[in-house]
């Protein structure tokens, strides 16, 4: 993994991923992915774009939007904010790795006071 990442729980008990400033907007997109099924659909889509089945594809999960191309993926908040920050970019293969890392964390996405994490 080219980019460092870490996890923390919000004040509301929801797992968040923290990313470096240059790609931090991707955390907004990734945090909206709530099921393994959604991750698997997204991974399948990325693989089809990288192999040339699709040229590119735009995906939105409750606000943040990513535009996936074979080599570069862009994230934007322009659809939900009046004065959005500039779009950010990440290599598509690195974006795919982050999505797979997130899939491993989905079982502990919400704090359960009865379980040890």
* Per-residue model confidence (pLDDT) at position 5: 97
Q: Which is nearest to 35 in space by CA: 61, 57, 12, 59?
A: 61
10-34 pLDDT tens trace: 888 889 999 999 999 999 999 999 9
pLDDT of residue 79: 64
Residues contacting 107, CB < 8 A, separation 6+: none
Long-range contacts of 76-82 (CB under 8 A, 24+ apart): 76/25, 77/25, 77/28
Per-residue pLDDT, 62 = 79
The confidence score (pLDDT) of residue 70 equals 98
Q: pTM (2 decimals)?
A: 0.88
pLDDT of residue 64: 87
Q: How far apart are CA 113 and CA 117, in angstroms?
A: 9
**pLDDT digits 0-9 by tens, 50-105:** 999 999 999 998 778 999 999 999 998 866 655 667 789 999 999 999 999 999 99
Measured CA to CA, the distance from residue 19 to residue 6 in angstroms comes to 7
């Amino acid at each position: 993994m080219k980019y460092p990442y870490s996890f923390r729980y919000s004040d509301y008990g929801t797992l968040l991923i923290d990313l470096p400033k240059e790609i931090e907007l991707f955390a907004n997109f990734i945090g909206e992915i709530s099921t393994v099924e959604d991750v698997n659909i997204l991974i399948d889509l990325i693989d089809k774009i990288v192999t040339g089945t699709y040229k590119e594809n735009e995906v939105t999960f409750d606000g943040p939007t990513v535009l996936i191309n074979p080599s570069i993926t862009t994230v934007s908040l322009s659809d939900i904010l009046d004065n959005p920050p500039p779009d950010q970019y990440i290599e598509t293969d690195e974006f795919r790795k982050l999505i797979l890392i997130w899939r491993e964390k989905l079982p502990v996405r919400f704090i359960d006071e009865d379980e040890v994490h």
